[in-house]
Structure formats: C-alpha cells, structure tokens
Amino acid sequence: HVQLVESGGGSVQTGGSLRLSCAFPGATYQRDRGYCLAWFRQAPGKEREGVAVIEGDGYTRYADSVKGRFTISRDNAKNTLYLQMNSLKPEDTAMYYCAADPSYGGRCPPHLIFGYWGQGTQVTVS
C-alpha cells in the first residue's frame, strides 16, 4: 500500500513562489521509478485538472496554464515528488493533490487513471 503525503501549501501574494512536496515512504527506490507521478488541483466550484506529470525516466508534461511557471521534479532516492511554483497568480488558488500509479511501469499515458492520491494541500494566492 502506497501512502502519499503532501506538504508545502500556504498563502502567498501574486508573483510569489511556493514549493510543494509529496512523500511516499511506502515505496522502495526501485519501485518508485515504476510509478507515474503527477500533480492535480481543484478550485472551489471547478473540476479537478491535471497540472503536471513526470514519468519514471524524468520526462515531464505540463498544463498550458502553468508552463514556464511551474516545475515538477522527483527524487527517486528520497521517494519524494516536488512542484516548484513561481510567478503565482490568483487563478492558481486551489487544493493541490499528488497522485501516483504503477500500472504502466513509470509511463504516464494520457488516459491513465491514478490509483493513489494524497490528502491535498491548500494553495491560496491573493
């Protein structure tokens, strides 16, 4: 069983930065590389949307709304996923969730349904 624990959310002014972390201590180093990892967010009254994904080999994809401002990264040795968020805007305000799934051996196909989720961390930009 893989548990995901997010941290790093908070309140920040427009233009500021935050770094989110997601730890999954239940995974081993080798097993971690077999997970597709991702960040999602959900704002009040809106549907959940994908923010960024990172495959086991480090390949990344981003939503158009965050390209150039957010960076997803992973430290397989520490079993930790990160999301560096710069130039934050009020429209980035949301609950942010990390997600993981091993179904495709570390690949992140567009149709992937993630099996493991964190509890969420709130990001508020004003």
pLDDT tens per residue across span 107-116: 999 889 999 9
Q: What pLDDT is attached to residue 31? A: 61
Look over the chain and give the mean of its residue pLDDT values, rounded to a whole number: 91
Q: What pLDDT is attached to residue 56? A: 87
Q: What pLDDT is attached to residue 3? A: 80
- pLDDT of 2 strictly over 90: no
Q: What is the mean pLDDT of residues 17-43?
A: 82
Q: What pLDDT is attached to residue 99? A: 94
What's the pLDDT band for 120 if we cut at 50, 70, 90? very high
- As a whole number of Å, the end-to-end CA separation of the chain is 37
Name the H helices within 1-126.
29-33
Q: What is the C-alpha separation between 76 and 11, in angstroms, rounded?
A: 28
DSSP string, 92-124: G-EEEEEEEE-TTTT---TTPPP-EE---EEEE
Q: What is the mean pLDDT of residues 71-84?
A: 90
